[in-house]
Amino acid sequence: MREPWSLTPGRGEVIAAAIILTPMRFTPLLPLLSLALLTTAVADPIPENLRQNGWFIGAQAYTFREFSAFEAIAKTKEAGGNLIEFYPGQVLQPGSSEKVHHTMSDTAITQLKAELARQGVHAVNYGVVGARNPEEVRDILAFAKKMGLYAVCTESAELVAAWEAAAKEFDIKVAFHEHGGSMSKPNYKVWHPLYVRGVVESRDPRIGACADLGHWATSHLTPVECLRILSGRIVSVHLKDKAAVGNSPVVVSGTGVVDVAACLEELKQQKFDGHISVEHEADWKDSVPQVRAHMDFVKARPK
């Protein structure tokens, strides 16, 4: 595996060297090399017609974990979102034993996509999902392709080479997500944006970060500074505010310690073009009003 600090040349360096060292009589090779570079661009963008005041805004289905995925789709729509990010393990629909997962049957996938179409909500992401080996990484990206997703979200950064290979194969973005962490627990590394930056910066542009604003506050970090560290590599955002720095309850955007307005401004400056998933980890039985308030906060600040 090529680590970010390795001196071993990557694909881009090899291609560049080939261009420099190729004699002029072989110039027909150059267009092919240029094409190879172009094909390593980025995954298909989120459809433009889904923007709301410039933003791609929806909900992380975990917000509605007390309900089924079908109900989460309906609640996302009720709150004013037209995008949803699924997570592994949610019951598919009331009375069903099937769960949303990258191992779910093709029949269940068809049912889920049909419900999305019926509700007019677009599935955009899947996670946070762990992977045990490169084979499972590939299975996850194959599932994402079947679902027509923009990205997947994981914390399995130790498998970055496998994620990169699968991202290229399926043309799907991969975002490394963080929960709260600290220097006192050195085995958990993805909590810090400098670590994530080191993991992703030499990789294919489809490999990046999920910016969880609330978890950065839990880690005693300043979210807007974390966004700047990851500039150009932010694939998606998990939107939450916190009542206080450290372990504290989630609150509606604009009422806590996360400067959500400044974060949105920073994302605009970076020309961020991914999606924002509201993840309101509170009021589990009735959170639609709070989720709507989060979304309205974003929509009130046009991109």
For residue range 133-171, what is the model confidence (pLDDT) as tens digits?
999 999 999 999 999 999 999 999 999 999 999 999 999
**How is the chain split into domains, by residue range?**
7-40, 46-299
CA–CA separation, 196 and 174 (whole Å): 12
Residues 6 or more apart in contact with residue 17 via CB below 8 angstroms: 9
Taking the C-alpha atoms of residue 60 and residue 177, their distance in angstroms, rounded to an integer, is 13
Which tokens belong to 170? 């399926």
Determine the Cα–Cα distance for residues 222 and 146; give it in Å rounded to an integer.
Answer: 37
**Are 171 and 43 in contact, with CB atoms under 8 Å apart?**
yes
C-alpha–C-alpha distance, residues 165 and 144, integer Å: 14
- One of 1.10.1040.10, 2.60.40.420, 3.40.50.2300, 3.20.20.150 is the CATH number of 46-299, namely 3.20.20.150
CA torsion sign for 122, 259, 230, 217 is negative
Closest CA to 145 of 126, 162, 164: 126
Report the sign of the C-alpha dihedral through residues 108, 237, 130, 160, in that order.
positive
pLDDT at residue number 42 = 52
- Whether the pLDDT of residue 264 is over 80: the answer is yes
Tell me the C-alpha distance between 272 and 264, whole Å: 9
**Pairwise CA distance, residues 296 & 46, whole Å:** 20
Q: 202 by DSSP, 3-state: which?
A: coil
Q: How far apart are CA 253 and CA 260, in angstroms?
A: 6
**Three-state secondary structure call for residue 15:** helix
pLDDT tens sequence across 178-237: 999 999 999 999 999 999 999 999 999 999 999 999 999 999 999 999 999 999 999 999
Q: What is the pLDDT of residue 41?
A: 44
Please tell me the pTM assigned to this model.
0.85
Contacts (Cβ under 8 Å, ≥6 apart) of 93 = 68, 69, 70, 71, 111, 115
